[in-house]
Amino acid sequence: MLRYAGTDIVFQEFPDEVTLAINITGCPNNCPGCHSPYLREDAGPELDDVALLSLIADYRGEITCVGLMGGDGDPQSVMHLCDTIRLTYGDTLRTGWYSGRERLPQGFRPELFDYVKLGPFVEAAGPLSSPHTNQRMYRIHDGKLHDITHRFRKR
Ligand code: SF4
155, pLDDT greater than 70: no
H-state helical runs in the chain: 49-59, 75-89
Check if 34 has its Cβ closer than 6 Å to any atom of ligand 1. Answer: yes
- Write the pLDDT tens digit of every residue in 60-111: 899 999 999 999 999 999 999 999 999 999 999 999 999 999 999 999 999 9
Longest dimension (CA), the chain: 41
- Asked if pLDDT for residue 154 goes beyond 80, the answer is no
> Which atom of ligand 1 is least distant from the CA of 37?
8
CA of 90 to the centre of ligand 1 (A): 30
Whether the predicted pLDDT of 121 surpasses 70: yes
Protein residue with its CA nearest to atom 1 in ligand 1: 100
Confidence band of 131 (pLDDT split at 50, 70, 90): very high
User: Looking at residue 64, what is its pLDDT?
Assistant: 98
Is the separation of the CB atoms in 134 and 122 below 8 Å?
yes
- Tell me the β-bridge partners of 144: 141
pLDDT greater than 90 at residue 135 = yes
CA pair distance 25, 2, nearest whole angstrom: 7
CA distances from 150 to 125, 131, 138 (A): 15, 9, 10
Ligand 1 proximity of 120 Cβ (cutoff 6 Å): yes
- The H or E element spanning position 5 is strand 4-10
Contact of 140 with 116, CB cutoff 8 Å: yes
Q: What is the DSSP letter of 3?
A: B
Q: pLDDT tens-digit profile of 10-63?
A: 999 999 999 999 999 999 999 999 999 999 999 999 999 999 999 999 998 999
Q: Determine the atom of ligand 1 nearest the C-alpha atom of 70.
A: 1
Which residues lie below 8 Å from residue 15, measured CB to CB, with a gap of 6+?
A: 137, 148, 151, 152
Report the separation in Å between the CA atom of 72 and the middle of ligand 1, taken as the mean of its atom positions.
10
The domain spans of the chain are 4-152
